[in-house]
A = this chain, B = another copy of it.
Amino acid sequence: MNSIISPLLTTAITAADKTFYTLRTDIVEGRIAAGSKLSEAELSTKYGVSRAIIREAISRLVSCHIVERKANIGARVVALSLEGLIELYQVRESLEGMAARLAAQNMTAEQITELNALLNQHAASVKDSQSYYQEAGDVDFHYRIIIGSHNTQLITLLTEGIYHLVRMYRVQLGMAGPRVTTAFAEHQHIAQAIANRDAELAEMLMRRHITYSRQNIEHKLHSQPQKGSL
């Protein structure tokens, strides 16, 4: 889909790495249910690796906040709630707002050109079938701005941490959000601000953009008390 799933590493890939990526995908995409227990022995036979590998993979998932572990008891996939998803959106608002600000300052001319090309490409998709833009396109747009911030810490936090969490919540809570066309217009305005090197405006627009999404979720929270599949 896009390069968020498997980061661009020049270094060798070990069995523990593969198991980590596989396990994470299985959880994020919902093949392993939220709240379910992760038995080391069970996963060991399932993925055909030793328990040590499984343990390392689980440890990393704990670091990502995808899994919680209690000593001598075991590891469980985190429990999902709309409140938790809202918390994540608050963090996103903060971090991606800063990313947009820094992108306006630091993006190269090429990166800006590519960002606009991406939007033009999306414009066509939006007219045809609005379905495409819903997921991959949105992720791509945000991803490029994050990378454009040129801030390593920020990039790592968002692409290796927050984004997988957000996706997990959205998939498992069944948040196939609408907001397609309006979101597209917001993306255009953000890209414009970045092209104008207007850092203040870029940050403000990005924060609003994410705030709208969050409010959209909060609205669902209040209209239908519990939607979670848990």
Binding site for B on A (CB under 8 A): 11-14, 17, 52, 55-56, 59-60, 63-65, 70-73, 84, 87-88, 90-91, 93-95, 97-98, 102, 151-154, 156-157, 161, 165
Contact = CB atoms under 8 A, between A and B. Distances in A.
A212 B17 CA distance: 40
The 10 closest A-B pairs by CB, nearest first: A63-B63, A94-B98, A12-B71, A87-B151, A94-B94, A11-B70, A87-B153, A14-B71, A91-B153, A11-B71
B60 A157 contact: no
> Which of A14, A52, A55, A151 lies at the interface centre, i.e. has the most chain B CB atoms within 10 A of its CB?
A151
Given A56-B59, A98-B91, A71 B13 contact: yes
A87 B97 CA distance: 15
Contacts of A11: 70-71, 73
Nearest to A52: B52
Contacts of A70: 11-12
> Which of A93, A98, A156 lies at the interface centre, i.e. has the most chain B CB atoms within 10 A of its CB?
A98
Given A90-B102, A102-B90, A65 B12 contact: no
A88 B90 CA distance: 19
A63 B65 contact: no
